[in-house]
């Protein structure tokens, strides 16, 4: 009895180490299985990646929703319609399987009802780039749907610029903020002038140069200087902006299928963030639009 008790006690003393060994073994097996599954997914993603072209644009109809807005030409004019037709043929060489645009999804499917009724006559009525580029390209490729992937919210301010302005005024740093706004205004003036001598395709080529996209992002990053103590509105604005774009990427991923070739038509201010999300997402491959806009 005593020996049996000693044996049981010895076993009890070893129990924690035995449990730890069992847990480590189980974890190792689980990790190996998970790694095997991840490896298969990675191989599948590598063999059939989702190719994504982020086409940054200016807003053709100039709705006045940005901090700085530019005056735009009438894209329904014969000259601009010819340019847009040429642009469509250039993008068609990418052979897109899906077109996604800057519109809030109205349904779980994210398909846009207006596209189902689209005809070429709409190109002379609706100046928005969603119709002029997105719908036109999808129609050219005989797609049955165009997908809305934008993110908006009634509770979250994804670009809290007014809060930033209030902080700048309270901290007497308005001149620094105004200087940045003036830079944005100057860029808008340059683009307005460019319209007189450039085609829409040439305008978009300039906007989608990686160097130009990086310079635009530097203007967002410059807002990080505004903050102190417990109030960091510049950082909050950048974080909220990336949050919005992260949700846009999430919506894209919900709709994408292996091997898809997706054209995303979006305001140029989103280009940097959306490109980074694509580049850093496993199974996705960024395609430069300027490879085709020549």
Residue 54 and residue 13 share a domain = no
Residue 77 and residue 35 share a domain = no
Residue 3 and residue 129 share a domain = no
Residue 280 and residue 137 share a domain = yes
Residue 244 and residue 152 share a domain = yes
Q: What is the pLDDT of residue 45?
A: 55
Q: What is the pLDDT of residue 288?
A: 98
Residue 60 and residue 35 share a domain = no
Residue 23 and residue 110 share a domain = no
Tell me the pTM.
0.83
User: For the chain, how many structural domains are there in total?
Assistant: 2
Residue 27 and residue 142 share a domain = no
Rounded (10°) CA dihedral 213, 95, 91, 256: -40
Provide the residue-wise pLDDT of the chain in tens; the chain has 294 residues.
333 333 444 444 454 454 445 444 444 544 555 444 455 555 555 679 999 999 999 999 876 555 667 778 999 999 999 999 999 999 999 999 999 999 999 988 999 999 999 999 999 999 999 999 999 999 999 999 999 999 999 999 999 999 999 999 999 999 999 999 999 899 889 999 999 999 999 999 999 999 999 999 999 999 999 999 999 999 999 999 999 999 999 999 999 999 999 999 999 999 999 999 999 999 999 999 999 998
Residue 10 and residue 57 share a domain = no
Q: What is the pLDDT of residue 92?
A: 98
Domain range for 23: 1-40
Residue 57 and residue 16 share a domain = no
Q: What is the pLDDT of residue 62?
A: 72
Residue 54 and residue 29 share a domain = no
Residue 267 and residue 148 share a domain = yes
């Amino acid at each position: 009895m005593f020996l049996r008790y000693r044996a049981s006690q010895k076993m009890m003393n070893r129990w924690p180490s035995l449990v730890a060994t069992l847990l480590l073994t189980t974890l190792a097996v689980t990790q190996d299985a998970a790694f095997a599954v991840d490896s298969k997914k990675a191989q599948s993603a590598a063999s059939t990646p989702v190719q994504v072209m982020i086409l940054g644009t200016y807003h053709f109809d100039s709705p006045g929703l940005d901090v700085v807005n530019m005056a735009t030409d009438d894209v329904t004019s014969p000259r601009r319609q010819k340019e847009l037709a040429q642009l469509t043929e250039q993008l068609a060489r990418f052979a897109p399987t899906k077109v996604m645009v800057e519109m809030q999804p109205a349904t779980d499917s994210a398909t846009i009802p207006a596209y189902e009724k689209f005809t070429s006559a709409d190109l002379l009525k609706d100046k928005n780039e969603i119709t002029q580029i997105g719908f036109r390209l999808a129609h050219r490729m005989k797609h049955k749907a165009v997908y809305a992937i934008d993110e908006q919210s009634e509770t979250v301010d994804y670009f809290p610029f007014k809060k930033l302005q209030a902080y700048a005024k309270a901290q007497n740093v308005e001149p620094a903020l105004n200087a940045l706004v003036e830079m944005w205004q100057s860029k808008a003036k340059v683009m307005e002038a460019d319209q007189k001598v450039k085609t829409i395709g040439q305008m978009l080529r300039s906007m989608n140069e990686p160097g130009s996209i990086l310079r635009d992002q530097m203007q967002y990053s410059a807002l990080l200087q505004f903050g102190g103590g417990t109030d960091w509105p510049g950082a909050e604005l950048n974080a909220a902006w990336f949050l919005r774009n992260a949700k846009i990427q999430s919506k894209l991923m919900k709709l994408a299928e292996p091997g898809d070739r997706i054209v995303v038509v979006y305001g140029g201010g989103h280009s940097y963030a959306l490109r980074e999300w694509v580049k850093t997402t496993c199974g996705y491959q960024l395609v430069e639009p300027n490879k085709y806009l020549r």
